[in-house]
Amino acid sequence: MVAIRLPDGSTKNFPGAVTGAEVAAAIGPGLARAALAMKIDGALADLKTVIARDAAVEIVTAKSPEALGLIRHDAAHVLAQAVQELYPGTQITFGPAIEDGFYYDFARNDTFTPEDFPKIEARMREIVDRNLDIAREVWSRDDAARHFAQIGEKYKAEWVREIPDGEDISIYRQGDWLDLCTGPHLPSTGKLPKAFKLTKVSGAYWRGDARNAQLQRIYGTAWASEEQLKAYLTRLEEAERRDHRRLGREMNLFHLQEEAAGAVFWHPKGWTLFRTLESYVRMRLDRDGYAEVKTPQIVDRKLWEASGHWDKFKDAMFLATPRAEGAAAEDGGRVYAIKPMNCPGAVQIFKQGLKSYRDLPLRLAEFGACHRYEPSGALHGIMRVRAFTQDDAHIFCTEDQITAESIRFCDLLRSVYADLGFTDVHVKFSDRPPVRAGTDAIWDKAERALEEASKAAGLETTRNPGEGAFYGPKLEFVLRDAIGRDWQCGTLQVDFVLPERLDATYIGEDGQKHRPVMLHRAMLGSFERFMGVLIEHFAGRLPLWLAPVQAVAATIVSDADAYAREAVAQMQANGLRVELDLRNEKIGYKVREHTLAKVPLLFAIGRREAEKRTVALRRLGSEAQETLALDEAIAKVRNEAQVPRAAR
RNA sequence: GCCGCCGUAGCUCAGUGGUAGAGCACGUCCUUGGUAAGGACGGGGUCGAGUGUUCAAUUCACUCCGGCGGCACCA
């Protein structure tokens, strides 16, 4: 007898081994129809799996949180079958479920284009209509390897050989189509909702390695219902509306052009935002015990060789040599590199003069402009550029101070993010990468120190194996934006390696030389990227204190021009970023324009206002008007526009 | 860097083997209008760059540059 415990606490007894489908049927015909898979003692399994012992079983339906993953994984298989039916000779490789959808990687000589999608989607629907039974089989390694080799699936054959001993080699059969897959899967293709859509094709490397063959990846999205699919497509449109490249142009913040690919031309408004952000961060650092420095832009490559960056990153560095005849020789044949990062420079400042343990921790901040030759395919708007400014700082401290400094930084970071409108932050812990500097003993120490520190700072971290910097492990702070997207911005890295390589020392209490530890840290990461994130997070509707143009004073009739000028001058004298719109246009036109430009405040000034020395205030996103005396309006707006924590 | 797609006016986009068009924006004039587009007229393009095919290339081919979507990379 087999006793099956159900989620509601009840137990159903069966005379012998049962399948999930039978359990579902025993509960009710509705559930039997809706069943997609099950969980046996919490582990996801096919409905056809035979349960031979007592267990807790939960039937998974389209409403279960696990359903989307199953649906997407099945959609990937149906896609693969459709593609192989339509394009014989195409090899299959991998096709997992991913966030919001799925993909499948194919090897084929001809290329897929989006024009192929309608045909493939139609075939996918047809496969759903065929309602093919999906069943798991366990094969021997030899049989599986032989089978895939025989039918020309060399990627599958390769993979079969690498499945560890002791693991089942499971094959899913869907009609007469087979795939090597761990599952689980829906009981038949007919259970797959038709709420899917192919979205894009791209290249992808076999096993994620650029040295391997490039495959063709077809992406799709799949949902439990048409409504969900529609909602997803709407979400994509929303993301497109927020695109910082589009808003940057529309709001006249910046532009990019090919003579300086990967570098930003900041327009007055964009630069105003940049400066506002910079001075805010500077204020926070000033108040948190940092000293700001500035290090050279062009530095002899010897320094980068010493730091280890040359070895690892020389291909991504810009070089600079004097151009004048004979100058290079006169200069001792030096080769300079434009700095790709600030840390070696910070170490040079630390090394000036003897440092005592009494000087530690020493927090050196730098708004460092760095240049890196990023691969052309990596460039993306202002989010991934070749010239950027970090809100960088290096904290030189003793090992004992790591924890306290980490806590202090995390506190600052949380508060800064909150001021900037981000409260949903999670933290990744990236440990030692395969290629690294420093001994394992040093890495053990560094990882332990960072773990302790992050625990002490009250952070919950998820592990990110092998993703640390070459000189040390790091915490990465990921912000979730208004529409649920994640952006990695802040970082905290523990570094025992660079102080050693660049020979930084301090004199300890014992009168002996010691190595300081270096903490590399950034909050925004790069201003360029962070500004892109801000723009997208707020959809261009920046909070008043950040808005490059906080208000526009727009006249209704030209008789009000003189008063409007005076009002704007007063506002500007009070530190508000206000523009004057005296154009020969109707107020409706001006309202529309400034609304589209996402200016937070609009002061309409007509004859009435000029006579009574008032302004009619309209706020972005509202149609209400509020008439205020000029002085009152200035006081009010000034208060609202205050930089967070600026008041003393 | 790799795969695919794209590059026509400031922006969004039509279009053609015989050297180009719309809407918005811009300029001038009229209009002084009370909260999301008032009217008239006008200027504006080496059709990304180069090479080739052709009597003729913005259109076809190739190379390069840049952009977009992924992949890889990200000190």
Amino acid occupying residue A571: M
Please give the protein residue whose CA is closest to the C1' of the nucleotide B39: A585
A538: DSSP letter: T
Instruction: Please count the other Cβ atoms lying within 10 Å of the Cβ belonging to residue A163.
Output: 16
pLDDT at site A68: 96
Residue of A2, A5, A25 whose CA lies nearest to A15: A2
Nearest nucleotide to the CA of A606, by C1', is: B34
* A343 in catalytic set: yes
The structure tokens listed for A597 are 């430009």
- Provide the phi-psi class of A503: left if phi over 0, else alpha when psi is between -120 and 50, else beta: left
The spacing between the Cα labelled CA in A543 and the C1' in B48, in angstroms, equals 38
Given the residues A39, A91, A343, A521, select the one marked as catalytic.
Answer: A343
Residues A551-640: name the CATH superfamily: Anticodon-binding domain (3.40.50.800)
Between strands A362-371 and A91-92, the pairing is unpaired
pLDDT at site A568: 97
DSSP β-bridge partners for residue A479: A425, A487
8 A C-beta contact, residue A42 and residue A56: yes
Please give the protein residue whose CA is closest to the C1' of the nucleotide B36: A592
- Phi, psi of A387, rounded to the nearest 5 degrees: -130, 120
The spacing between the Cα labelled CA in A616 and the C1' in B26, in angstroms, equals 30
The CA distance from A131 to A187, in Å, is: 9
The spacing between the Cα labelled CA in A212 and the C1' in B1, in angstroms, equals 13
Residue A568 Cβ < 7 Å to strand B: no
The structure tokens listed for A493 are 């890295």
Amino acid occupying residue A603: F
Nearest nucleotide to the CA of A111, by C1', is: B4
The structure tokens listed for A429 are 């812990």
pLDDT at site A332: 80
- Quickly name the fold that domain A2-60 has: Ubiquitin-like (UB roll) (3.10.20)
The spacing between the Cα labelled CA in A546 and the C1' in B3, in angstroms, equals 40
* A147 in catalytic set: no
What is the percentage of chain A residues whose pLDDT exceeds 90?
93
- Scored b (16 or more CB within 10 A) or e, A62-98 reads bebebbbbbbbbbbbbbbbbbbbeebeebbbbbbebe
Q: What is the 3-state secondary structure (H, E, C) of A609-632?
A: HHHHCEEEEEECCCCCEEEEEHHH
> For A490-531, how does the pLDDT look when each residue is reduced to its tens digit (9 = 90+)?
999 999 999 999 999 999 999 999 999 999 999 999 999 999
* A176 in catalytic set: no
Residue A475 Cβ < 7 Å to strand B: no
Tell me which H or E stretch contains A78. Answer: helix A67-86
The spacing between the Cα labelled CA in A267 and the C1' in B29, in angstroms, equals 32
Q: How confident is the model at residue A431 (pLDDT cuts 50, 70, 90)?
A: very high
Give, to the nearest 10 degrees, the angle between helix A268-286 and helix A527-537: 110
The spacing between the Cα labelled CA in A140 and the C1' in B39, in angstroms, equals 82
Nearest nucleotide to the CA of A309, by C1', is: B75
Q: Is the dihedral of CA A271, A277, A280, A285 positive or negative?
A: negative
The CA distance from A490 to A429, in Å, is: 12
Given the residues A185, A394, A514, A594, select the one marked as catalytic.
Answer: A394
Span A532-543, mean pLDDT? Answer: 97
Residue A256 Cβ < 7 Å to strand B: yes
> For A367-384, how does the pLDDT look when each residue is reduced to its tens digit (9 = 90+)?
999 999 999 999 999 999
Residue intervals of chain A classified under CATH 3.30.930.10 are: 287-297+339-531
* A392 in catalytic set: yes
> For A565-612, how does the pLDDT look when each residue is reduced to its tens digit (9 = 90+)?
999 999 999 999 999 999 999 999 999 999 999 999 999 999 999 999
Nearest nucleotide to the CA of A343, by C1', is: B75
Residue A213 Cβ < 7 Å to strand B: no
Task: State the virtual CA torsion across A379, A426, A547, A599 in degrees, nearest 10.
Answer: 90
Given the residues A46, A391, A392, A581, select the one marked as catalytic.
Answer: A392
> For A239-252, how does the pLDDT look when each residue is reduced to its tens digit (9 = 90+)?
999 999 999 999 99
Tell how far CA A60 is from the center of its chain: 31
The single residue listed with the structure tokens 């005379």 is A15
The spacing between the Cα labelled CA in A543 and the C1' in B12, in angstroms, equals 29
The spacing between the Cα labelled CA in A588 and the C1' in B39, in angstroms, equals 16
pLDDT at site A329: 75
Residue A111 Cβ < 7 Å to strand B: yes
The spacing between the Cα labelled CA in A313 and the C1' in B63, in angstroms, equals 30
Q: How confident is the model at residue A648 (pLDDT cuts 50, 70, 90)?
A: low
Q: How confident is the model at residue A330 (pLDDT cuts 50, 70, 90)?
A: confident
- CATH class of the region A67-239: alpha beta
Question: Would you call A552 exposed, middle or buried from its count of C-beta atoms within 10 A (0-12, 13-18, 19+)?
Answer: buried
Residue of A57, A45, A59, A49 whose CA lies nearest to A6: A57
Q: How confident is the model at residue A322 (pLDDT cuts 50, 70, 90)?
A: confident
* A474 in catalytic set: yes
Residue of A510, A508, A478, A507 whose CA lies nearest to A491: A478
pTM for the whole thing?
0.94
The structure tokens listed for A29 are 């015909």
Residues A287-297+339-531: name the CATH superfamily: Bira Bifunctional Protein; Domain 2 (3.30.930.10)
Residue A208 has pLDDT above 80, yes or no: yes
Residue intervals of chain A classified under CATH 3.10.20.30 are: 2-60
Mean pLDDT of chain A: 95
Residue A558 Cβ < 7 Å to strand B: yes
Residue A340 Cβ < 7 Å to strand B: yes
The CA distance from A407 to A427, in Å, is: 14
> For A2-50, how does the pLDDT look when each residue is reduced to its tens digit (9 = 90+)?
999 999 999 999 999 999 999 999 999 999 999 999 999 999 999 999 9
Given the residues A269, A474, A529, A590, select the one marked as catalytic.
Answer: A474
Residue intervals of chain A classified under CATH 3.30.980.10 are: 67-239
Given the residues A72, A77, A191, A520, select the one marked as catalytic.
Answer: A520
A438: DSSP letter: S
- Scored b (16 or more CB within 10 A) or e, A171-193 reads bbebeebbbbbebbbbbbbebbb
pLDDT at site A296: 97
Which nucleotides of strand B lie within 7 A of protein CB? 1-5, 11, 30-38, 65-75
The CA distance from A389 to A23, in Å, is: 60
Residue A626 Cβ < 7 Å to strand B: no
The spacing between the Cα labelled CA in A110 and the C1' in B52, in angstroms, equals 27
Question: Degrees (nearest 5) of the Cα angle A265, A271, A277?
Answer: 130
Nearest nucleotide to the CA of A381, by C1', is: B67
Within 169-198 of chain A, which residues have Cβ less than 7 Å from strand B?
none
End-to-end CA distance of chain A: 75
pLDDT at site A418: 97
Tell me which H or E stretch contains A346. Answer: helix A343-351
Given the residues A81, A390, A401, A550, select the one marked as catalytic.
Answer: A390
